[in-house]
Structures are given as C-alpha cells and as structure tokens.
Amino acid sequence: MGFLRLGLAVWAVVWAVTFWHRTDRLREWLGIIVVSLDEEGEKQDRWDGGGLGKWVNCPACMAVLATVPVMLLPGEIQDALAGLGLAVLLGRWWEAARPKARWWL
C-alpha cells in the first residue's frame, strides 16, 4: 500500500507542476515557453530552454525528480497528496471517458 500512496502522491506533484495552468509562471521562470496556440487561444505546445525546465516539461522526468522529495514528506502530507492524486486521476478519467459534443472532435 505504501507504493500506491507514494505513486499517487508523486502523480499529484507531477500534475500540479507539469500540467496545471496555475504553474505557468513557474514553468516560464524555468525556461519553458509556449510555442503555439489553438484557435481559441489555448496553449498547445511548450518548448524548454534546457536545464531544470527540460525535466519539468517532461512528465516522466518530473516523476523521477519528485519521488525523493515526496518520500521525505511526513505521512499525513503524503496521504493528502495521494488523495489529491487519486482525485486528479478520477477527474482526468471522467473527462476522457465522457461523451464529447460533436464540435469537440
């Protein structure tokens, strides 16, 4: 059960840093810039200038980078992050599984 909790907690950190739009300023500070926008002005692609930004721009790399710091957190914080990670996974699954309107495709 400890590995599951750790995995969900790391996923919460990876999602927050790599995908969550509220951390755009952090990514810009690390050297990740937006390269293209879609028709509605939403960000499509990001390019990194190297260094730490390269790790943050890659979700698998960010998971490696976040594992040890998350392991060092107290159990209560790991539990909270694991709950958040599970909620994010369920939310992303629901978004992917629900029927889309015809204009969505």
pLDDT confidence of residue 32 = 87
Phi, psi of 50 (to 5 degrees): 95, -175
- Number of Cβ atoms within 10 Å of the Cβ of 6: 18
**16 domain residue, yes or no:** yes
Residue 51 lies in a domain: yes
pLDDT at 66: 93
- Whole-number pLDDT of residue 72: 95
The DSSP letter of residue 22 is: G
pLDDT attached to residue 73 = 94
Whole-number pLDDT of residue 31: 86
Print the domain residue range for 71: 2-100
Split into its structural domains, the chain has a count of 1
Let me know if residue 105 belongs to a domain: no
Residue 101 is predicted with a pLDDT of 64
**Residue 23 domain-assigned?**
yes
Q: Is residue 48 part of a domain?
A: yes
Cβ-based neighbour number of residue 24 at 10 Å: 13
pLDDT lower than 50: segments of the chain: none
